[in-house]
Every structure is written in C-alpha cells, then in structure tokens.
C-alpha cells in the first residue's frame, strides 16, 4: 500500500429499467409497436445507463441489463422447448418467482452474453463487465420427473457446454471481467440443510470453470447474495457459515459477496479471511440495493475500512450487495437512486483508499488498517 493506493470497485449488474422501456414492452405484447420499435427503446436505455454510470466515476461499466428479462432467464427467453410450470423461488416478502421447465432436449441457450457486450461497446470506450447466469441456476429447469430420451446427465453435459460458450462469447466481444451470478448458493442451504445440493451446484459450476485456463479464471468472478427482488430476499436467514467454506471451492479468481446488509459483518469477514484461497480476490458489498436510503460516501468509507481491517492486508475491492433490479419488472428502486448509490460507492471507496494510503505511508509496519479506521471520516449511516 502507498499514498496512491487504489481499491478496485465494480457494479454487480442490473439497473432499474426506465418507464418508457416497460411501457414499450407492454405495447409490444399488445401488438401496438414492432419488435424494432421496442429494440430502439432498449438501446436508448442502454446508452443512457452507460452514460450515467460513466458520470458516477465507475472505472468499469455494464449495460445495466437493460435488455434482459431477468438476470437468470435471458438465456432461456424464447426457447420453444420450455413450459411455464417450473421451480418456484419464494421470497421473504411473500411473493415468488417461477422458472420455466424444460420439456425436451437438446438444451441450447437462446441468447449468449456476447451480444450484450457488443451492444454496450457502441456506447463507451471504458472497460466492460458482463454478468452471466451460473449453470447451477439453469440446472433447476430440468424436471424432477425427467425427460424421456434426454436424461439429466445429457442435459448437464449440454448445459456445461452452453455456459462455457456464454462466457467465451462475452470475452470474445471485449468484456474485461465476466461474473457468474450464483444467488442460488445461499438458497440451496435453505432447501437442503445437509448442503448436498450446494455441493452439487459447486461441482457443476467447477465443471464449467475447469474449461478455462488459470489466466482466464482470474477474470471470472462469482457473485453471491441472498437474492434481491422488490426490496426483499429469499435466503437472508441462512448463516453465511453454511455457504462460505464450500463457496471458495469454486475455482474462480474473484468473489463478489453481499455484506452491507449483513447483521454481523465482522463475523462474516472473519469467515472469509479464514476460508478464501490466496489466489481469490474478494469484492465486499458496501451498498445495500434493498435499502431505499442512499448511503453517503463517508458510510461507504467506514464499511470499506472495516473490510480492510478484518482482511488484514489482503487485496480486496468493493461492490454492491446485489443488482438494483435483477428482474425487469422490479421498479422498487428509482434509477436516480441506484446511480446515487453507485456514485457513493465510487467516492467512498476512493476515500478509504486515501486513508489507508496515508496510514501506510506513516508506518508500513504499524497495521495501517487499524490506524485508518481511527482516522476515517465519521457520518450518519445514510444521507437524508
């Protein structure tokens, strides 16, 4: 660490869609506008989102998932071999989301993520990050009763190939970082307390990761959180101690971990410090997308310094706990609020880097993170 220390900071993924995109979708479904008119609205939203993210000072951008129906179903949208009656995810707020169910093989993705990167590249020269769905989540579309002539083993083999193709398409289109969304990890501990399901999920994800070189895996990350939809979650009651030891068995180089909304962040950080491998970089959540209040940069700085102290000199970054609208119809968070939160993350992370850099410059052997915490700016948890 030096006085010019930089702490990396990245967005997880989604940004709430503008109202005009949702209205255009409704008009498309009613036959009042063409598919080309709808795509024009989406591209306008994509351009505006990227411009807003650039204005926050974000060093790496995304398209905010403006064209995705959801973070999980983009790869499935429009496939002819799906039925609507699939796996149900129950959220703590009382609502649910339902995945489709595969009806016949072979399984192929409807859309690959490289298309999103290509479209985003038209609107910025800054580095791009692309979120993709983990194969473990997609595996839930296979019915428990099986499919005649297409056994689960054949489906999983196809799924691994398709997920690899999805990731490679993003890199080929110019993505600097690819992030696998793995929100089902914590949920799996709730569905199966023995953690057998979790371990099967991780083995499946590793089957994909093993198809990449060590250098490629350093640019592939895993995002974990207890879900986020309409300001509620599906598995926040699951102890992180049930997930994290197995999570770090995944052979990825970057881990984006929901933390801001945890009741006992220090305990979680202690588990992370013990369980992570030396080659795994941690991005700690310092923004809570399910909280309507906007964190101040000073609050983000305090949370970032807390991470630095707990991880004891380990290189780390900051992120958001989750996307701000993982499902297209989630409008609980205003777009302007999402951008304000991201701006606070960027500024607060820079504040923390400056504090840590000054502390290290004064005494390289003094445990700079502890001194930094004492010197950090203090504030109310949120802006008015």
More confident residue, 1 or 195: 195
pLDDT of the residue at 362: 77
**294: Cβ contacts below 8 Å, ≥ 6 apart:** 337, 340, 341, 344, 382, 383
pLDDT of the residue at 137: 97
In a domain, 359, yes or no: yes
Predicted confidence band at 227 (pLDDT cuts at 50, 70, 90)? Answer: confident
pLDDT of the residue at 96: 87
Cα dihedral: 112, 62, 129, 320 (round 10): -120
For range 344-369, the mean pLDDT = 82
Dist. CA 304–CA 295, nearest whole Å: 13
In a domain, 282, yes or no: yes
Q: How many structural domains is the chain composed of?
A: 1
In a domain, 382, yes or no: no
Range in 139-148, 205-214, 310-319, 355-364 with the lowest mean pLDDT: 355-364
Dist. CA 175–CA 63, nearest whole Å: 11
For range 137-149, the mean pLDDT = 97
More confident residue, 95 or 148: 148
**151: Cβ contacts below 8 Å, ≥ 6 apart:** none
pLDDT of the residue at 364: 60
Number of C-beta neighbours around residue 302 at 10 A:
22
In a domain, 380, yes or no: no
Secondary structure element (H or E) that encloses residue 180, with its range: strand 177-181
- What are the CA-CA distances from residue 52 to residues 55, 82, 223, 339 (Å)? 5, 36, 23, 7
Question: 158, 108 in Cβ contact below 8 A?
Answer: yes
Predicted confidence band at 48 (pLDDT cuts at 50, 70, 90)? Answer: very high
In a domain, 172, yes or no: yes
Number of C-beta neighbours around residue 33 at 10 A:
17
Range in 113-122, 227-236, 341-350 with the lowest mean pLDDT: 227-236
DSSP character string of 260-306: TT-S-HHHHHHHHHHHS-TT-EEEEEEE-TT--SPBPHHHHHHHHHH
For range 327-345, the mean pLDDT = 95
**How many helices and strands, by DSSP H and E, does the chain display?**
13, 11
In a domain, 383, yes or no: no
Over pLDDT 70: what percentage of the chain? 93
Mean pLDDT, the chain, rounded, equals 92
For range 328-338, the mean pLDDT = 93
pLDDT of the residue at 352: 97
Q: Does the pLDDT at position 374 exceed 50?
A: no
Cα dihedral: 353, 359, 363, 364 (round 10): -20
Range in 33-42, 64-73, 312-321, 371-380 with the lowest mean pLDDT: 371-380
CATH number at residue 226: 3.20.20.210
Dihedral pair phi/psi, residue 177, rounded to 5°: -130, 140
pLDDT tens digits, 294-326: 999 999 999 999 999 999 889 999 999 999 999
């Amino acid at each position: 660490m030096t006085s010019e220390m930089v702490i990396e900071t990245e967005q997880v993924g989604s940004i709430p869609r503008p109202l005009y995109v949702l209205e255009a979708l409704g008009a498309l479904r009613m036959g009042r506008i063409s598919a080309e008119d709808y795509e024009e609205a989406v591209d306008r939203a994509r351009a505006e989102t990227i411009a807003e993210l650039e204005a926050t000072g974000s060093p790496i951008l995304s398209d905010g998932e403006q064209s995705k129906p959801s973070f999980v179903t983009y790869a499935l949208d429009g496939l002819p071999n799906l039925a609507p009656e699939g796996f149900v995810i129950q959220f703590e707020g009382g609502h649910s989301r339902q995945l489709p169910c595969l009806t016949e093989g072979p399984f192929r993705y409807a859309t690959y993520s490289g298309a999103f990167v290509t479209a985003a590249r038209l609107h910025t020269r800054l580095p791009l990050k692309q979120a993709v769905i983990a194969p473990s989540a997609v595996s839930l579309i296979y019915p428990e009763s099986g499919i005649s002539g297409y056994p689960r083993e054949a489906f999983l083999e196809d799924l691994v190939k398709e997920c690899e193709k999805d990731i490679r398409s993003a890199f080929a289109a110019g993505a600097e970082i690819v992030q696998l969304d793995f929100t089902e990890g914590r949920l799996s501990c709730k569905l199966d307390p023995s953690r057998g399901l979790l371990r099967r999920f991780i083995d499946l994800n590793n089957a994909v990761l093993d198809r990449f070189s060590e250098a490629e895996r350093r640019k592939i990350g895993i995002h974990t959180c207890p879900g986020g939809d309409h300001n509620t979650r599906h598995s926040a009651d699951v102890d992180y101690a049930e997930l994290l030891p197995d999570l770090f068995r995944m052979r990825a180089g970057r881990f984006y971990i929901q933390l801001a909304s945890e009741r006992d962040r220090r305990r979680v950080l202690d588990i992370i410090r013990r369980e992570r491998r030396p080659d795994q970089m941690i991005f700690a959540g310092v923004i809570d997308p399910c909280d309507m209040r906007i964190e101040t940069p000073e609050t983000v700085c305090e949370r970032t310094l807390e991470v630095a102290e707990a991880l004891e000199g380990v290189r780390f970054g900051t992120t958001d706990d989750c996307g701000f609208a993982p499902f297209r119809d989630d409008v609980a968070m205003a777009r302007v609020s999402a951008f304000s939160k991201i701006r606070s993350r960027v500024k607060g992370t820079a504040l923390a880097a400056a504090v840590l850099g000054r502390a290290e410059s004064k005494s390289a052997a003094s445990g700079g993170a502890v001194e930094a915490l004492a010197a950090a700016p203090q504030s109310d948890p949120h802006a008015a």
